[in-house]
Amino acid sequence: MQQEAIQEITQAPTLEALQQVKTKYVGKSGLVTKELGALGKLPPEERRARGAEINVVRQAIDAALQEREGILKRAALDEKLASEAIDVTLPGLPLPAGGLHPITRVYDDLIGIYQRMGYEVVEGPEVEGEHHNFEALNIPWYHPARDLQDTFWLEDGRLLRTHTSNMQIRYMVEHDPPLKMVSRGKVYRYEATDATHESMFHQLEGLVVGEGISMADLKGTIAEMARGLYGPTAQVRFQPSYYPFVEPGADFAVYWNNPRGESKWLELGGCGMVHPNVFRAVDDLREAAGRDRIYEGMTGFAFGLGPERIAMLKYKIPDIRYFYANDPRVIGQFRGEL
């Protein structure tokens, strides 16, 4: 029996098979166990010798079982390790990296500049009431300036904001002066598109209000932004312009030398000193909301600019429509750059 058992043990191919052999011989009703159980029926003289004999067999079987179990367990572990091994010499699979849209990057630059100057950054609604987009900004319904910004009207009488200047009104109704804020976001105009005009584009609005704010503060701020964007040699130019919500009003441009040695004036946006009628309209809204009239007699400046213009020049994108056409050949060029 011993020989047979040991042969079966050493040939057991798996741990499960080994367990079966173990049960067969030394399990509860195994062959060896039965022999031991039968000892009681033997006459006492034979019992001792037979008992010793069976014990030798049992010990041999136990030792063989233990050894075989060790071998099989090691083999199972080796197999597991081999199957889970990572071959670090295999070439990697290139994963397509994302990247920030050029407009996001220009915004991040601009907002970083203003945050360093202590401005609060806010966002506001794209669906807006006529009052916040026009009236409160000193653009009554009959005013020809409404034609300058042709409007997408919604069926409920609201509109898609034509500029971020609505945030001047919203911010002043909620906050007391002195204040410095910039607001970013999308704006919409119902106009024919061309290489430099989209019907959806972005603006960055800035507003500073306090006592004794002057045009010099406005010019210094725009110059600081230009240096932040284009380095210490950047220059700014202001030309008189008309916006109903500022007086005086101006357009500003930045003259910059890019790393490729080109230099040109880049028309960036409009600006000016906040019109007293705007402060009055804000106070009216505040009064209606149960807040103090606090803006009458204040001074402040505002500006609004289009980041698309900056991005087109910076990244040499010849047509504004490329930004939003979702053509992977355009946007894909900015993969992996953050």
Report DSSP state, residue 89. T
Q: Which of 272, 285, 311, 312 binds ligand FA5 (CB under 6 A)?
A: 272
Of 65 and 182, the one with the shorter C-beta distance to ligand FA5 is 182
Is residue 161 a contact partner of residue 285, using CB atoms and an 8 Å limit?
no
C-beta of 5 vs 226, nearer to ligand FA5? 226
In the complex, least distance from residue 251 CB atom to ligand FA5, rounded to whole angstroms: 7
User: Which residue in 201, 230, 238, 256 binds ligand FA5 (CB under 6 A)?
Assistant: 201
* Residue 309 touches ligand FA5, criterion: CB under 6 A: yes
Q: How far is CA 181 from the centre of its chain?
A: 23
CB-nearer residue toward ligand FA5: 26 or 208: 208
Q: Is 312 in the site for ligand FA5 (CB under 6 A)?
A: no
165 scored as a contact of ligand FA5 (CB under 6 A): yes
DSSP readout, 246-282? EEEEEEEEEEEE-TTS-EEEEEEEEEEEEPHHHHHHH
Q: Render the burial of 196-205: b for 16+ CB within 10 Å, e for the rest.
A: eebbebbbbb
Residue 241 makes CB contacts below 8 A (sequence gap 6+) with 249, 250, 251, 270, 272
| Phi, psi dihedrals of residue 207, rounded to the nearest 5° | -145, 130
Angle (CA) 198 203 207, round 5°? 155
Which member of 119, 133, 161, 198 binds ligand FA5 (CB under 6 A)? Answer: 198
**Three-state secondary-structure class, residue 43:** coil
For residue 323, the minimal CB distance to ligand FA5 (Å) is: 10
Label the pairing between strands 127-128 and 299-305.
unpaired
Q: Which stretch binds ligand FA5 (CB under 6 A): 41-49, 51-59, 113-121, 304-312?
A: 304-312
Pick the piece of the chain touching ligand FA5 (CB under 6 A) from 70-78, 193-201, 222-230, 328-336. 193-201
Residue (61 or 268) nearer to ligand FA5, CB: 268
Nearer to ligand FA5, 12 or 266 (CB): 266
Instruction: Select the residue interacting with ligand FA5 from 197, 237, 291, 321 (CB under 6 A).
Output: 197
